[in-house]
């Protein structure tokens, strides 16, 4: 294998596939990046066996030559060193040349690296997915849906299925749900499908976070292929594979209350900042819990008391309070996570009593909701 390549394209591709590479793997060859040079261009692959990322660098892009192939072939190079090296090479042009015994020479300007490579034949094969059934979603919408749900997955392995996000497609609508059993995040959006297929799968939260990081912010369509145990996201010149979690995701529809006894409208930012301050002293104490109560004239009081340190009282002027007066306690962290995930400057919180889960939604938007279980303190 021998080719010349534009450094910046190589650096970008290496950074993308590095997202899947971990040094903590039981399969030594997965600490490497697989490089394949074909007549069409260069393909890089990184994998930790849960996530696999394939980045393709075409010979030409927008009429500019990116790669010049002298000899096709393949090699696996240690990801940690290869990624550092390409970032620091002195000139725009880089030559990669595999010689005898997998010795790989990387040349750029007056700099010459000689790396011990590994045989690409030993690198695990990526899953081959039949791509008959796909659905499509714009990249920026996909990133928003991930951001608005993935934070709510469980970080505990006691119920592994909750470490993933439940993706359901039905009637050309995608619903993403995440819960750690103390709070829940839900986001819906229309998707493009050809066949009107239904799916119900659980994607590891970590996979979605990594996917989000390597996708650019644009509205290009991403193709999504779901099989029994894999999901594949296809962007231009990028394939992102993730395994799916096995098992049944709990039915969360019954958790979400249909009615409410108290409805409160607030400015998102003002409410978020008041919660943040009210929890400053509580972070040390038990569970970071704040108290929330309606007082007179449409004012909401948020407070916390940590006797060793002190107490805080915040007042927020609501836009409206409808229904019963309320005193409730909840985790400030969960509330801040939920508020940060919501789009829009105004939110509506719907309570059904101090002991029941409550729901936060943007004003006039039914496509997203955040649900939080209160804490018993009153």
Which residues would be at the binding site for a second copy (CB under 8 A)? 78, 81, 84-85, 88-90, 104, 110-116, 273-274, 276-277, 280-281, 308-317
Q: How far is the CB of 12 from a second copy (least distance, A)?
A: 19
The phi and psi torsions of 77 (rounded to 5 degrees) equal: -115, 145
How buried is residue 189: exposed, middle or buried, by Cβ count under 10 Å (0-12/13-18/19+)? middle
Three-class DSSP labels, 237-296: CEEEEEECCCCCCCCCHHHCCCCCCEEEEEEHHHHHHHHHHHCCCCCCCCCCEEEEEECC
Q: How far is the CB of 305 from a second copy (least distance, A)?
A: 9
CA 33 to each of CA 7, 18, 19, 118: distance values in angstroms, whole numbers, following the listed order:
16, 8, 11, 10
| 39: Cα separation from own chain's centroid | 34
Q: How far is the CB of 281 from a second copy (least distance, A)?
A: 6
Task: Using DSSP, state whether 28 is helix, strand or coil.
Answer: helix
Q: How far is the CB of 358 from a second copy (least distance, A)?
A: 23
Rounded to 5°, the CA angle 209-214-219 comes to 100
- Which is closer to a second copy, CB of 242 or CB of 304? 304
Q: How far is the CB of 242 from a second copy (least distance, A)?
A: 31
- Which is closer to a second copy, CB of 102 or CB of 373? 102
- Which is closer to a second copy, CB of 104 or CB of 329? 104
- Which is closer to a second copy, CB of 114 or CB of 229? 114
- Which is closer to a second copy, CB of 202 or CB of 316? 316
- Which is closer to a second copy, CB of 190 or CB of 283? 283
Q: How far is the CB of 111 from a second copy (least distance, A)?
A: 5
Task: Using DSSP, state whether 15 is helix, strand or coil.
Answer: helix
Q: How far is the CB of 11 from a second copy (least distance, A)?
A: 14
- Which is closer to a second copy, CB of 159 or CB of 311? 311
How buried is residue 375: exposed, middle or buried, by Cβ count under 10 Å (0-12/13-18/19+)? buried
Asked if 304 contacts 279 with a C-beta cutoff of 8 angstroms, the reply is yes
């Amino acid at each position: 294998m021998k080719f010349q390549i534009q450094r910046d394209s190589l650096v970008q591709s290496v950074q993308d596939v590095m997202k899947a590479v971990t040094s903590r793997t039981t399969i030594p060859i997965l600490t490497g990046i697989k490089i394949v040079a074909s007549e069409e261009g260069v393909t890089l692959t990184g994998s930790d066996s849960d996530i696999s990322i394939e980045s393709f660098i075409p010979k030409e892009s927008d009429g500019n030559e990116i790669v010049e192939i002298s000899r096709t072939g393949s090699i696996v190079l240690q990801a940690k060193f290869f990624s550092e090296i390409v970032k620091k090479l002195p000139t725009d042009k880089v030559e990669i040349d595999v010689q005898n015994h997998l010795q790989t020479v990387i040349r750029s300007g007056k700099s010459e690296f000689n790396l011990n490579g590994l045989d690409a034949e030993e690198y695990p094969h990526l899953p081959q997915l039949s791509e008959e059934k796909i659905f499509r979603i714009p990249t920026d919408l996909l990133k928003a849906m991930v951001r608005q749900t993935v934070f709510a997955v469980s970080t505990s392995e006691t119920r592994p299925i909750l470490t993933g996000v439940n993706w359901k497609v039905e009637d050309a609508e995608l619903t993403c749900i995440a819960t750690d059993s103390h709070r829940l995040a839900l986001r819906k959006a229309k998707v493009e499908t050809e066949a009107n297929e239904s799916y119900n799968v659980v994607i590891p939260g970590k996979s979605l976070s990594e996917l989000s990081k390597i996708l650019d912010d644009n509205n290009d369509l991403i193709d999504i292929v779901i099989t029994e145990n894999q999901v594949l996201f296809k962007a231009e010149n990028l394939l992102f594979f993730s395994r799916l979690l096995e098992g049944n995701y709990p039915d969360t529809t019954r958790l979400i209350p249909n009615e409410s006894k108290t409805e409160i409208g607030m400015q998102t930012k003002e409410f978020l900042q008041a919660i943040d301050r009210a929890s400053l002293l509580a972070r040390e104490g038990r569970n970071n819990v704040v108290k929330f109560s309606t007082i007179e004239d449409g004012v909401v009081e948020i407070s916390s008391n940590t006797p060793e340190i002190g107490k805080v009282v915040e007042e927020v002027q609501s836009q409206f309070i409808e229904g019963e007066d309320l005193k409730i306690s909840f985790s400030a962290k969960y509330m801040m996570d939920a508020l940060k995930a919501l789009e829009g400057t105004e939110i509506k919180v719907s309570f059904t009593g101090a002991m029941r889960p409550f729901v936060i939604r943007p004003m006039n938007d039914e496509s997203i909701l955040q649900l939080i279980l209160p804490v018993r303190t009153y």
